[in-house]
Chains A and B, each alone.
Chain A
Amino acid sequence: MSKIPTMAELAAEGKSPDILFWVGCAGSYDSRAQKVTIAFTKILNEVGINYAILGNEESCTGDPARRAGNEFLFQMSALQNIEVLNGYGIKKIVTTCPHCFNTLKNDYPALGGAYDVIHHTQLLQQLIDEGRIKMKEGGAFEGKRITYHDSCYMGRVNGVYEAPRKVLEALDNELVEMKRCKSNGLCCGAGGAQMWKEDEPGDKRINIERAEEALETGAEIIAANCPFCLTMMGDGMKAKDKQDEVMVYDLAELIVNNNGL
């Protein structure tokens, strides 16, 4: 596979990409989310998008720090990132993480960083609509029962419900909605920096509640669009001993698998 270009390399050659791929901490380091990062770069390469990553110049957007209440740390992370982004004159950003998406899109403008930010599921939908991604017929998922778990930060927070569902539609499978979906979707339990801490005392973990609801649909695949949701739903399947029967995938992975990229 071809090399992933970085902004620094392109800048040295006097070039600039059409879009920056913001990988995020999970996408860079978490072994599960890395697979999504790689799947998405495969699609970008296949379609021939002129993109780049920041590589080691990228750092945490500061989302978990801000929502935990640590505004100092958020400001430090955010201002440093904005320096880098503005330094390269970045206009457009795509990211596979709804938390990075939201922070870049909604939190950074007040700090002097205004960018056109889209989530990878939105880009994938565009590419499908434009015919630049063509789904292979008779793919691995044709006719399979799939349920889609809305991430809070794409769904309720930013109102994106349809793009991911249109991507699923293109895969020609049977979408079954959970009882709580779209604006009423239940959180996986990881937002607001919960990803890094134990649940507070209670009757059950939030991801177990959501995993049970997903299993009720009888779906063989749970599609998600967020690295934290992937972890939480994956853990939920393990807790229910269903990890071999019900797979949890990001939408980018579904496309890569379907098209054998």
Chain B
Amino acid sequence: MLQQIVFFLVSLAALGFAGWQFSKIRRNVLLGQPETISGNSGQRWRNVLLVAFGQSRMFKRWIPALFHFFIYAAFLLTQVELIEIFIDGLTGAHRFFYPRLGGFYVFVISFIEVLSLLALIATVIFLIRRNVLKLPRFTKPEMKGWPFRDANIILYLEIALIACIFTMNGTDEVLFNRGQSHAEGVEGLEGSFNFAVSSWLGPMLFGGIESESLLHTLERTGWWGHILVVFAFLNYLPISKHLHIILAFPNTYFARLKPRGEMKNMPEIMNEVKSMMGLGDGNGEGDMAAMEEELPEFGTKDVFGLSWKNILDAYSCTECGRCTAVCPANITGKKLSPRKILMDIRDRATEVGQKLESKDPQYAADPDKPLSKDNFDDGKSLFDYITPEELHACTTCNACVEACPVLIDPLDPILQMRRYEILTLSQGPGDWMPLFNSIENQGSAWAMSVDRDAWTKELTNE
């Protein structure tokens, strides 16, 4: 009974704290501009099923995809065991599903055990890739410090989870052989469960332990350890790149379905230009007056100017670096790294969220009004994270967009920030001035002293 009360209180605390942390992520995502993303739900669900659930885009690099799949599949299926641990924890009904499922139960748990073993192998390989082989995409400048530690912590936690499961099932197997199993007396059970891995791994690891009380303690440690690591993991997600295990699903659902080549239109500028050119629908002058009054900012300076979807993208990023590995600018040694752009957006959103939470009036744009996302100025912006040099290096080649396994669009925020630089700051690469001048004055990307159709005359003179 005591165990059940403790379990209930621990679960409540862990789930409550996690819910509170996730609500902060939601708040940070909603710092962005509202954007209605709807329609074509068939295609959207297809993306969720194929890309998030089915991992289809991972398999462009099939070796890491396969190992990742082991961990992913083990994670998904372990939820069955987790539900059982919950029922056990709350009611004391050990191996709750066995009397209901019988042989199928043994198959499911055996399957989980095999996947867990594969996941363990994959986790060790992933640790080697990061710490020994030091793969280039894991050692870029933006991966120094916390991102590097974060990745290792996740892998260690996964090893802990798997170790706990095998300790629990393995010691119980040994106890079975001594007629002392925790599952003794479970309806319909004759002999041990004979799970695929723990039936041989258990005796191998724990068979030599004489003391049955130690075995019982180890079994309970495995049980409690597993659920406690699960709770720890859940509460670790909101501050970790590992959040992708949840956000990959909404992020693929809300992924853009419009043609890749279409840049978001800016109707406010379109209408202004139309009225300048006398093409307006009569409302043009009013628009212009309104624009002059407000001195509007165009493009994106900070997370407030991004769409909420850009921020969701940033929180969905697991820093795998496939985007950066295919970026032509990054490949040739430029500062631009699409992954860093996303990490910067996420870190800035988190910083703004924390400052809003502090309710410190020094961050209010108007100190007489309460601090809010509409009344916020900490003297910083995304440009304190992302330099113009990075923005200027992009060729808009869409390789990063193509590479992302969870349909993140790293290109869109780059282009939005370029707009801010050019339209609001009137800055940008000096080389672009002649380009802009000749487009404006001559309708051509190059300043030429001859007619546009001069080539036809040469041709007919041939």
Contacts and interface: CB of A to CB of B under 8 A. Distances in A.
Interface residues of B, number: 70
Interface stretch (A64-72, A131-139, A168-176, A251-259): A64-72
A26 B452 CA distance: 10
Contacts of B393: 199-200, 202
24 contacts: A1-B460, A1-B462, A25-B445, A59-B439, A64-B445, A69-B420, A72-B273, A72-B423, A75-B270, A76-B440, A103-B261, A109-B262, A110-B262, A152-B397, A156-B260, A157-B259, A158-B261, A184-B326, A191-B395, A194-B395, A196-B431, A200-B392, A203-B332, A206-B395
Given A70-B436, A189-B328, A79 B274 contact: yes
Interface in A180-205: 183-184, 186-187, 189-205
B34 to A, nearest CB: 19
Contacts of A126: none
Contacts of A37: 455
A62 interface: yes
A73 B439 contact: yes
Contacts, number: 223
Interface in A49-72: 53, 55-56, 58-60, 62, 64-72
A56 B451 contact: yes
Contacts of B435: 64-65, 68, 193, 196
A2 to B, nearest CB: 8
Interface in B297-314: 298-299
B334 A199 contact: yes
Contacts of A30: 446
B211 interface: no
Contacts of B428: 68-69
Given A71-B299, A72-B272, 18 more contacts: A4-B456, A26-B445, A28-B453, A59-B452, A67-B396, A68-B432, A75-B266, A75-B274, A105-B259, A105-B261, A107-B265, A153-B261, A156-B397, A157-B259, A183-B402, A192-B396, A199-B332, A206-B328
Contacts of A205: 332
Q: Which 9 A-B pairs have the closest CB atoms?
A: A59-B443, A203-B333, A69-B418, A192-B396, A197-B431, A202-B333, A187-B397, A69-B422, A106-B261
B301 to A, nearest CB: 12
Nearest to B448: A29
Nearest to A194: B395
B372 interface: no
B25 to A, nearest CB: 30
Contact of A106 (B259, B273, B274, B455): B259
B116 to A, nearest CB: 34
A107 B263 contact: yes
A231 B435 CA distance: 17
B332 A204 contact: yes
B410 to A, nearest CB: 13
B236 to A, nearest CB: 34
Given A69-B421, A79-B277, A80-B277, A53 B439 contact: no
B387 to A, nearest CB: 10
A156 B439 contact: no
A95 interface: no
A201 B389 contact: yes
Contacts of A209: 328, 331-332
B162 interface: no
Contacts of B439: 59-60, 62, 64-65, 73, 77
Interface in A10-31: 23, 25-26, 28-30
A102 B261 contact: yes
A111 B261 contact: no
A34 interface: yes
B394 interface: yes
Contacts of A29: 444, 446, 448, 450, 452
B434 A196 contact: yes
Contacts of A193: 432, 435
B266 A71 contact: yes
Contacts of B418: 67-69
Contacts of A103: 261
Nearest to B392: A200
B453 A6 contact: yes
Contacts of A195: 445
